[in-house]
Amino acid sequence: MYYLAGQNIFLPEEMGGEQGETNLIEEAKSEGFEYIEDQEGLDAVDPTQHDKILGLFGEEGLTPEMERPDEEPSIAAMTETAIESLKENEDGFFLMVEGSQIDWAGHEHDAAWAMSDTEAFEWQCRKL
């Protein structure tokens, strides 16, 4: 299960991507991955029925939390769906949740941006 931004990394150059001639989204679909690209798709997927989910929610990076549009899932929504899917594995699971926006905000010396995205993680932890 993978949730990312960066559709451009998965697409061939002819589609504006960086993969030469390879379309990794189509390859993932052919390997049985359920592909989703927005909040509506995340809402529609039944995580208990899919152990292979590829969610690419942005062309390059996700939107900073304080500017995130409704059609882009929050870190909380992505994490909740991931846990619902992964907990079906009787052997247990490991889940790593990363938010690149915090790093980018640090490079830009933008405290409001960094704190907003940090708060998105904290909000998720309170729900668990």
Q: What are the residues whose beta carbons fall under 8 Å from the beta carbon of 48, sequence distance 6 or more? A: 84, 85, 88
**What is the domain extent for residue 119?**
2-127
The crossing angle, in degrees rounded to 10, of helices 111-127 and 100-107 is 160
Domain count, the chain: 1
Per residue in 42-81, pLDDT (tens digit) is 999 998 888 889 999 988 888 888 898 999 998 888 888 9
CA dist 73 and 39 (Å) reads 5
Q: What is the mean pLDDT of residues 20-45?
A: 94
